[in-house]
Amino acid sequence: MRVIALSVLRENPGRYAEVAEVLSQGGLVCFPAGSGYKIAVELGSEGAVTSVMQAKRRIKNAPALVFVPTAEAIEELASCVSEQARVLMRAFWPGPVTLLVEANEEIAPRIRKPLTQAKGWIGVRLPHEEVPMAVLQAFGKPILVSSANIASKRGAHSVAQVKKNFGRTVELLVDAGDIVPQPSSTLVDVSSDAVHVIRAEAVPEADILAALAFSRLDALVALP
């Protein structure tokens, strides 16, 4: 495992290109992202997706969270992007709101199947945290991310534990020291016309509902 301190990246942001290079070659990278360290791979690489599932020992319950570099990138991942989803994207992206969508059939079957077999959807988010934003800017493509812990075990907040668990599988680690846990992203199911808040943490459910209600009111006012 190669390690780059976050302080070094802050002094020389150009070194994020090294992270992007590992991703482009199908390697696993690990970086801090709000609620803990995340392992990330290129979403479009079948081998990389398999590698992260094997590293986490989650073959039957695959990670299904995708970080996107732009809001527009969701169009390639979701079978349909509803107007409600677009409202929430405008209101909360970049930010800690993950939209649960039905996976696009255009995603390669050997990637789509393991990511959707457990829950039937994938989560998509345009992150606001410093490091994932910089990684996505350097890489320019969606990445599959999952918490840096072995299945059913803790450890994603401790850099020492991350090194212990993934020292042989993660190629590059962005080391920010131990992380003080932050609230997880709010999960909103927008896979159908009926929007459901599945988990309200970083953004309260009331804020989600208010954004949707305001949008409906605004649309009524705009009618001739």
Tell me: the pLDDT tens digits for 114-137? 888 767 789 999 999 999 999 999
Q: Please, are residues 151 and 175 in contact by the beta-carbon 8 Å criterion? A: no
Amino acid, single-letter form, for residue 115: L
Please state which CATH number belongs to domain 2-222.
Answer: 3.90.870.10
67-76, 145-154, 177-186, 213-222 — most confident range = 67-76
pLDDT above 60 (res 217): no
Q: What is the pLDDT of residue 129?
A: 96
Tell me: the pLDDT tens digits for 131-156? 999 999 999 999 999 999 886 667 78
**DSSP codes joined into one string, 107-149:** S-HHHHHHHHTTTS-EEEE---SHHHHHHHHHH-S-EEEEESS
pLDDT above 80 (res 67): yes
Every domain of the chain and the residues it spans: 2-222
Q: What is the pLDDT of residue 222?
A: 46
Q: What is the pLDDT of residue 14?
A: 97
Q: What is the pLDDT of residue 221?
A: 44
**Closest alpha carbon to 149 in 50, 66, 64, 63:** 63
